[in-house]
């Protein structure tokens, strides 16, 4: 059985006091015996203080929203994987569509980021997904397969530290999510592509759905055979709604 995972991507939201208040609420409300891995991904300045209040006995873990492709040096504003590790970061999101589109991160840069994170034994949530125009032109499978090429240079041990997040770009922050059928179709395809390298890893690797996932649609999405949870954006900022999403993954 693959592990169920729900990751909260706070993006550029939450002050320190707001973040701590939300995390304490979540930990109070969640079932003590809940098996779902819950990853909280705040902004960089909040990583250490939020990490200090996370209870790993309740399966709450710390994640970063990004890391540098560089190890260290004169790179103003960058945060390296080794620095993330030093503040006890367990996971890092790499290749989110907002990083690809707004910050023009290339596949080569993302490959270097993956390598940096894995070298520090930080698990990577690697994002893939197509734009609306690409889906309209029925190119979504070609796009996602191309984006997955970065993980094929990894060895099996490294692959075991990867989580894939499928985020149809046309659904992110729009309120329009992929249907359970559309999401399942892509998640199955992702496993088929990974199976070309190793069938066992393809069956074991967690694949999450991201893109306007909320309390209203999480149960239907998470009930699909190849969907192992979600990478949650705006809905993760609301305590009661995020709790319902966690329950849906349980």
Q: Output the domain CATH number for residue 221.
A: 3.20.20.70
Sites in the chain below the pLDDT cut of 70:
33
Check residue 211 and give its pLDDT: 86
Check residue 153 and give its pLDDT: 87
Count of structural domains within the chain:
1
- The total number of residues written for the chain in this structure: 250
Q: Write out the residue range of the structural domain in which residue 54 sits.
A: 5-249
Q: Give me 171's structure tokens.
A: 């659904």
Give the separation between CA 212 and CA 234, rounded to whole angstroms. Answer: 8
Check residue 50 and give its pLDDT: 98
Give the separation between CA 241 and CA 185, rounded to whole angstroms. Answer: 26
Contact between 117 and 124 under an 8 Å Cβ cutoff? The reply is yes
Check residue 178 and give its pLDDT: 84
Check residue 177 and give its pLDDT: 73
Check residue 216 and give its pLDDT: 94
Q: Give me 117's structure tokens.
A: 């994170």
For 116, counting Cβ atoms within 10 Å of its Cβ (0-12 exposed, 13-18 middle, 19+ buried), the class is buried
Check residue 212 and give its pLDDT: 86
Give the separation between CA 239 and CA 4, rounded to whole angstroms. Answer: 19
Contact between 22 and 239 under an 8 Å Cβ cutoff? The reply is yes
Q: Give me 92's structure tokens.
A: 């890092």
- Kindly write down the DSSP assignment for every residue of 224-250, as one continuous string: STT--EEEESGGGGSHHHHHHHHHHH-
Q: What are the catalytic residues? A: 96, 167
pTM of the model: 0.96
């Amino acid at each position: 059985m693959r592990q169920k995972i729900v990751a909260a991507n706070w993006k550029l939201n939450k002050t320190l006091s707001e973040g701590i208040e939300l995390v304490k609420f979540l930990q109070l409300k969640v079932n003590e015996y809940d098996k779902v891995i819950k990853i909280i991904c705040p902004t960089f300045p909040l990583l250490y203080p939020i990490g200090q209040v996370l209870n790993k006995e309740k399966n709450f873990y710390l994640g970063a929203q990004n890391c540098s492709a560089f190890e260290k040096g004169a790179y103003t504003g960058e945060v390296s994987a080794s620095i993330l590790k030093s503040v006890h970061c367990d996971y890092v999101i790499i290749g989110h569509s907002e990083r690809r589109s707004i910050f023009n991160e290339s596949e080569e840069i993302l490959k270097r980021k993956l390598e940096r994170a894995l070298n520090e034994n930080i698990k990577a949530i690697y994002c893939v997904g197509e734009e609306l125009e690409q889906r309209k032109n029925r190119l979504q499978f070609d796009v996602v397969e191309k984006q997955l090429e970065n993980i094929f240079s990894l060895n099996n041990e490294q692959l075991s530290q990867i989580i894939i997040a499928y985020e149809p770009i046309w659904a992110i922050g729009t309120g329009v999510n992929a249907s359970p059928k559309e999401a399942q179709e892509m998640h199955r395809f992702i496993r088929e592509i990974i199976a070309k390298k190793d069938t066992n890893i393809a069956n074991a690797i967690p694949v999450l759905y991201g893109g306007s996932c909320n309390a209203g649609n999480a149960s239907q999405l998470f009930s699909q055979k190849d969907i192992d949870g979600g990478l949650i954006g705006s809905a993760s900022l609301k305590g009661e709604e995020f709790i319902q999403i966690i329950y849906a993954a349980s």
